[in-house]
Amino acid sequence: MISCASLLALTACGGEEDAAPAAAGTTTPATSAPADSSAPAAEAKSDKEICEAAQKLANENTEAIVKAAMAGEPAPDEIKKLLTDMSTKLTELTANGSPDSAVVTGLKTINTEIDKAAAAADPLSAMGGPASLEAGKDVTTGCQKVGVTVSF
């Protein structure tokens, strides 16, 4: 259950900046050229790439939780930090995945559950709920379809 709950975190964020319209009567010449974006569009990630990276993240997070547990009862704040870090990484990972993908949808559900666990007073007890387990099955199945074995 720890592996499933510690798996992912993601919330794709995006924002649009509103440009203020130019004031009438301004002496600055207007330009008809479109604004140049300094950031290139991110390349879409395949389910296979997402599955491979998600499994790596899950392994790393599980190792960190086990390491913390081996040192004694991990403090809730330590677990919250691990979960928050995982959530951030999952968000970044799934941001360029297909919104129609069962893998991406499952990871987003798992991420929501990770965020809930991170916000709980006892994050370890809050991990591994039914929604997370069901999403883990969906991710596992989706990743198997692209030839990647995962443990969610």
Higher pLDDT, 15 or 89: 89
- Burial of 95 from C-beta contacts in 10 A (0-12 / 13-18 / 19+): middle
Tens digit of each residue's pLDDT (9 = 90 or more) over 120-131: 999 988 888 899
Cβ partners under 8 Å of residue 3, min gap 6: 58, 62, 151, 152
Q: What are the residue boundaries of the structural domains of the chain, listed by start?
A: 2-7+43-145
| pLDDT at residue 137 tops 50 | yes
pTM, whole model, 2 decimals? Answer: 0.69
| pLDDT at residue 13 tops 70 | no
Amino acid residing at 103: V
Higher pLDDT, 101 or 32: 101
| pLDDT at residue 10 tops 70 | no
Tens digit of each residue's pLDDT (9 = 90 or more) over 44-103: 899 999 999 999 999 998 898 888 888 888 888 999 999 999 999 999 999 999 999 999
3-state SS class at 141: helix
